[in-house]
Amino acid sequence: MVRQGASLEWSDQREKAARTLQDKLRDGGVVLGVPYFDDERERLFIIETDGGPIALGGVFVQRDENGKERPLRFESRTLNSVERGYIQFRKELLAILHCLRMFRHYVMGRRFILRTNSTAVIGVVNRHQQVDATLSRWIAHIWTYDFVLEKVPTAKNRADGLSRVEWESIDDESLKEAPFVDEFLMEDDDEGLPPAPSCYTASSIATSREDCSGEKEDPYLHDLLTREDEEEGWYGLVEQAVVAAHELAESSRMAERRLNEIEEEPEDPEQDKDVEERFRKDEYDEEYKRIGKVMSSNQLDEFYHEKTKRTFRLRRGHLFVDAKEGLPPLRVVCGKERQLEVIVALHEGLTGGHRGADATYYKVSRLYHWDGLRDMVIKYCKSCEACQKRSSMRLIEPLYPTVLVEPGSTVHLDLITMPPGKDGMKYVFNMRDNMFGYVEAKAIRKKTAKAVADWIEEIYLRYPFIREFVADQGSEFKNEMVRRLMFRLAVRIRFVTPYHPQANAPVERGHMTLKDAISKWCQGDSRNWPSFLRAVVYADNVTVRRTTGYAPITLWYGRYATSPIENLVETWTHEAQRESYSTEELLRLRIRQIKEVDEAIIEATKRMSDSRLSDQTRWNSKRYIKKERLQVGDIVLLHDTSLETQWTKILEARWMGPFRIIREVEGKAYELAEMDDDDDYVLGRGPCAASSSQQSAAMIMV
């Protein structure tokens, strides 16, 4: 019968099937005859929806007196040619939109259960995710209803059969071109929508569930129930009844006394049932539940609470508290899950936009109220994964100054890449003392493992008091040949954190000094730089350091260096060397020289220690310093510094992850692992920052 002009032969078998279906759909059979509105707790309305290839389906369900779910109404419609091309996710969301529109007379202003078999739809609607303009408009309309979203298996979805038509055998000409489902969202009024069923209005005032066909026997009642005027029609009648009930409320003083006495009174089942109809006590806890019960039992619509110094109001079973002057009352929300739903909606939803904690708190505090609201909003905004991944704030590691032992005990190694010079020289191998900054450097052609190992061996054999080498993670240092050399010399080599040159600061800071000096000597002829390397190193070693007050060569060798100019313009020290001294006098002078050097080393060591401690205090007092060290098991985000130089990725997340710390490695660094699908972390308790890698610092995810 889907084709125009088609005929159908009505046989006895079809007649029998129609009668059987008719009997099943009578009240008392498979379906309910009329809805029951007087129990919003045990007999909530249920809407089940499903989107099919060419049709949408929905079933309006309610539990009967025995608690069994039975259908009240069925709804189905075909999709037009454009809507049939939608992806399944859109069809499922469109089915919800259509069923809410058709069943709105039953559920508007009431809490109900909404069921769908689409996990994606549940995720988007629950988290208020903004997908595109069309879907955002649909979701915004859906959230004008008060519902609890549930997932129903496809096999148990009663709307499944209404949306699945055997469409393979139906050509496009047989399908009527229907209007768009969301067309009503563009209209200014509800013109074209079906009027409210008379059963709905009749059952609201009937004392028993009778068939509504008798309402036409009373013309006045029929006119009252179907009139569209809001002030004189059915809705106006309800509003007048509520106002009349409020006028019978008792005074606030009596309610205050009742609040103090309510816990001492024995429970009355009949009275509790009556109270529950006016106040949804299960949605509240502690003091708010007591206030609501007192107000509902005394039929109060307004109550001033002495303890909190605030005025509470009761409306449609919900508790409200007066806000600041000029603002409407705030809905009281209890229960952490419900409170999180509100914060999610106003932070991540259509009206949220992932703004900061202050902006989100402002939105929430103008609509809702609960104890500890501000702290909860701040904690949630700090734990938002999307916000953390786009955060421009970077926590910095605290400063850990090295312990000073003696000159030469620890030296730092590094390679400087230079422009091509004479004899094919391309690199400078640089060594610098950790304590006083004494420098050794050598130009090399290739940064091979053998060349580096030979130079390290030469350094050690020249200065055998070296106890430890510090180098970066470059392959020229971290290789088997260097490892064997360190084992043979019984000297330790320590590698700094990868891509973290700050850990090799003593030698890294000296690179610029050497490069600037070589550039000034070359005077534009960059190929000549190997010729001036020795002179630059000498000048660096004889220059007095501001931190220690002495030249590095003095503290390294224990004697003062002689400058070439002293041979032309003689100084006191140089003149004294020309005089003839006896052996006894020379020994006395040498003893005094050694003593002065020892004193100089002690003084320089103290000044260097004070300088490093001062730098530590200054650095660690910064605002974004990391207060606590990371622990194994922490969940972290890793900063992607590569985005700073790529303008095409300005919308990419600045932080990658989340990752889990699996172990701590040498150099205060951490080894990270990607999170498994089974891993879970709690928003509000999760990650801050890790240590380093090419993506720089990590941040513990909150």
Residue pLDDT, tens place only, 371-383 = 899 999 999 988 8
Considering only CA atoms, which of 357, 387, 363 is closest in space to residue 375? 357
Q: What is the pLDDT of residues 422-472, one digit of tens each?
A: 888 999 998 998 888 899 999 999 888 999 999 999 999 999 889 999 988
From 513, 429, 510, 433, select the one nearest 470 (Cα to Cα). 433
- For the domain made up of 410-598, the CATH class stated in words is alpha beta
What tens digit of pLDDT does each residue of 41-94 get?
788 899 999 998 888 999 999 988 888 888 888 899 888 888 888 888 889 999
More confident residue, 615 or 3: 615
CA 607 remoteness from chain centre: 46
CA distance 309 to 36: 40
Q: Count Cα atoms within 13 angstroms, Cβ side, for 145.
A: 26
Token pair recorded at residue 233? 């029609």
In angstroms, rounded to a whole number, what is the distance separating the alpha carbons of residues 493 and 484? 11
pLDDT per residue over 351-362, tens digit each?
Answer: 788 888 899 999
Distance of CA 678 to the CA centre of its chain: 19
pLDDT in tens, 545-564: 888 888 888 888 877 777 88
Q: Of all residues in the chain, what percent carry a pLDDT higher than 90?
A: 12
Handedness of CA 540, 542, 543, 547 (dihedral sign): positive
User: Chain-wide mean pLDDT for the chain?
Assistant: 75
Q: Which of 50-64, 519-533, 571-585, 652-666 has the lowest mean pLDDT?
A: 571-585
Q: Quick one: pLDDT at residue 138? A: 87
What mean pLDDT comes out for the span 248-270?
A: 45
Question: What are the structure tokens assigned to 331, written together?
Answer: 């809905």
Domain ranges for the chain, please list them.
20-185, 286-390, 410-598, 634-701
Q: In 142-247, where do the E strands start and end?
A: 146-151
Q: How far is CA 11 from CA 4, 18, 273, 389, 589, in A?
A: 21, 11, 54, 68, 134
Q: Comparing C-alpha atoms, which of 284, 358, 347 is closest to residue 321? A: 284
Q: How far is the C-alpha of 158 from the C-alpha of 162, rounded, in Å?
A: 8
For 196-245, write each residue's pLDDT tens digit: 443 333 333 333 333 333 334 444 444 444 444 444 444 444 444 434 43
pLDDT value at residue 48: 94
> Token pair of 99, please?
């069923």
pLDDT at residue 680 in the model? 42
Per-residue confidence (pLDDT) for residue 564, from 0 to 100 = 80
Q: How confident is the model at residue 32 (pLDDT cuts 50, 70, 90)?
A: confident
Query: Are residues 76 and 165 in contact, defined by beta-carbon separation less than 8 angstroms?
Result: no
Cis preceding linkage at 658, omega within 30: yes
Q: Name the more confident of 167 and 501.
A: 501
Distance of alpha carbon 191 from alpha carbon 597, whole angstroms: 100
Q: Mean per-residue pLDDT for 490-498?
A: 84
Whether residue 35 is predicted with pLDDT greater than 90 in this model: the reply is no
How much is the pLDDT for 38?
Answer: 81
Whether the per-residue pLDDT at 328 is higher than 90: the answer is no
Asked whether residue 481 carries a pLDDT value surpassing 90, the answer given is yes
Q: Which of 472, 554, 544, 455 is CA-nearest to residue 511?
A: 472
Superfamily of domain 20-185: Ribonuclease H-like superfamily/Ribonuclease H (3.30.420.10)
| Predicted local confidence at residue 482, as pLDDT | 92
Q: What value, to the nearest 5°, has the Cα angle with vertex 315 and ends 309 and 321? A: 20
Question: For residue 316, is pLDDT > 90?
Answer: no
Residue 45 burial (CB < 10 Å; 0-12/13-18/19+)? buried
Which of 663, 689, 659, 688 has its CA nearest to residue 676?
A: 659
Alpha helices (H) in 398-504, listed in sequence order? 449-462, 480-489
Residue 204's pLDDT is what?
Answer: 37
Least confident of 262-276, 290-304, 670-684: 262-276
Helices (H), strands (E): how many in the chain? 23, 20
Q: Which is more confidently placed, 483 or 249?
A: 483
Please write the tens of the pLDDT for every residue from 162-195.
Answer: 877 655 555 555 555 678 888 887 764 444 344 4
What average pLDDT does range 13-33 have in this prediction?
73
Helix (H) / strand (E) containing 596: helix 583-620
Which pTM value belongs to this model? 0.46
Among 72-76, 187-191, 291-295, 685-689, name the most confident range: 72-76
Structure tokens at 456: 């390290």
| Same fold for the pair 20-185 and 410-598 | yes
State the pLDDT at residue 578: 57
**What is the β-pairing status of strands 45-51 and 111-116?**
parallel
Q: Which of 347, 553, 572 is nearest to 438 (CA)?
A: 553
Taking 70 as the threshold, does the pLDDT of residue 486 lie above it? yes
Q: How far apart are CA 317 and CA 255, in angstroms?
A: 17
The tens digit of pLDDT for each residue in 519-553 reads 888 888 888 899 999 999 999 998 888 888 888 88
- What is the separation of C-alpha 270 from the centre of its chain, rounded to a whole number of angstroms? 48
Q: For 286-390, which CATH class?
A: mainly alpha
CA-nearest of 116, 314, 108 to 193 is 108
The tens digit of pLDDT for each residue in 113-164 reads 999 988 888 888 877 656 677 888 888 888 888 888 899 988 888 888 887 7
pLDDT score, position 336: 87
CA distance 249 to 277: 16
| Tens-digit pLDDT profile for residues 234-251 | 444 444 443 443 443 344
Contact 692, 636 (CB under 8 A): no
